[in-house]
Amino acid sequence: MTAWDVFLQQVINGVSLGAMYSLLALGFTMVYGIIELINFAHFNVFMMGSFFALWALQAMGFVGQSHILYGLPLAGVLLLALLATMLGSGVLGVAIERFTLRPLRGVRGTAPMITTIGLSFILYNIILLGAGADSKNYANPLPNTAWMISGGATLRLREVLLWVVSLLLMLGLHYFVRFTKMGKAMQATAQDQEAARMVGIDVDKVVVITFFLGSALAGAAGLIFGLYYNYTSYIIGYQAGLRAFTAAVLGGIGNIPGAMLGGVIIGLIESLGGQYIAVRWTDVIIFSLLVLVLVFRPTGLIGRAAPTRS
């Protein structure tokens, strides 16, 4: 492989990772946009999502790479698994909001965020105790189809699928927020909750929908993680979650297109940094970036609402 091929390969990997981080970052950004809360539970909603998807695939009779599917059957199975996962994690997100965060709405300070840290620990340990500490071989109906491009670099079917699914979900979200009545209500609530309430918007409902959508996207990211890496484990939430959060901050927290862009940037930093610097320093680079952006450009690269408030 030439140097160019290596670079190209890492860009392909980076964009794939980035697409996953973007989906995850959207949940952080949407919730922050509406209720100004950094939701640590989101990390492990993503992790639970990857388990929901695993269980859904297992329920359909897939174990490991026992059945490889092609064409329409593959699309059908994946769509079914995706819908089941998104529904499951969406409901989980709504339950978290309804039972633990709503009672704390309007409480000053960091209490809601501390609650989400607790929730994150609870979800993590439920899976650890319930499913065990070993990493799980994923049920994966995807064929190992790959295409050679420009000499050495390969583009695999799963990468193409990942890009397409992520893009469709993000376009769907964009359409929902921009053009539907509920989406407009979300935008209004993000701008000014009091004013939104006064013009008759049911803010509680908006918050529930926001948690549902954000968590459903995290679930989708969980499915993608499993299919892409071919495993899942109770520990995947923390690292991916923090990177996705960095992506959300990078894009300007509360800003939906920013989260997508931030995700891709973080994905590229991870793959290219790992290639050209050292994998063991990747986290330091990403966390340093997080700190630098928060300190020097808290509105993110695109920017909107400043994340400082009194």
Partner 1 sequence: MPEPHLEPSETTPPAAMIRLHSWIPAIRDRAKSERFRPWLYGLILLFALAFPYIDGNEGDIDSAANALAYAMLALGLNIVVGFAGLLDLGYAAFFAIGAYTYGAFSSYQMQPEWSSFWVPLQWLGLVQHLTPDGGIGTVHFAVSFWLMIPVSALVAACFGVVFGAPTLRLKGDYLAIVTLGFGEIVPIVARNWPYVTNGAQGLSGVTTPKLFGYDFSVLSTPYYYLGLVMIVFLIFVSTRLKHSRIGRAWLAIREDEIAAEAMGVNRTRLKLLAFAIGASFAGSTGTFFVAKLQTASPEMFMFPVSVMLLVMIVLGGIGSVAGVVVGALVLQLLQSWFLQDLTQWIHALGNLTGIVFLQQLDLVQSIELIFGIILVFMMLYRRQGIIPERAAVTALSYDEQNAMPSRRSIEARLAPLHRRTIDPSKPILEIKDLAKSFGGIHAVAGIDLSVMPGTIVGIIGPNGSGKTTFFNLITGLTDPDRGKILLEGEDITGLKPHRVVEKGIARTFQNLRLFSNMTVLENALVGTHTRTSTGAIGAVLRLPRTRREETAARDRALEILRIFGNRLIPRVQHLAHSLSYANRRRLEIARALVSEPVVVLLDEPTAGMNPTETLELSDQIRSLRDRGVTVLMIEHKLAVVNEIADKVVVLDHGEKIAEGTPKEIHSNKEVLRAYLGRTTDAIAEAATAS
Q: What is the contact surface with partner 1 in residues (CB under 8 A)? A: 36-38, 100, 103-104, 107, 109-115, 117-122, 124-126, 128-129, 238, 242, 245, 249, 280-281, 283-284, 287-288, 290-291, 294-295, 298, 307-310
Which lies closer to partner 1 via its Cβ, residue 181 or residue 280? 280
Phi-psi region of 238 (alpha: psi -120 to 50; beta: other; left: phi over 0): alpha
Which lies closer to partner 1 via its Cβ, residue 207 or residue 220? 207
Cα(241)–Cα(82) distance, rounded to whole angstroms?
20
CB of 105 to partner 1, least distance (A): 12
Which lies closer to partner 1 via its Cβ, residue 26 or residue 142? 26
Which lies closer to partner 1 via its Cβ, residue 70 or residue 121? 121
* SS3 readout for 243-258: HHHHHHHHCCCCCHHH
Chain-centroid distance of CA 223 in Å reads 10
CB of 9 to partner 1, least distance (A): 25
Q: C-alpha angle 220/240/111, rounded to 5°? A: 95
Residues contacting 198, CB < 8 A, separation 6+? none
Which lies closer to partner 1 via its Cβ, residue 179 or residue 310? 310
CB of 270 to partner 1, least distance (A): 14
Is the torsion defined by CA of 185, 191, 194, 199 positive or negative? negative
Give strand ranges (E) for the chain: 136-137, 146-149, 153-156, 231-232
CB of 98 to partner 1, least distance (A): 13
CB of 37 to partner 1, least distance (A): 7
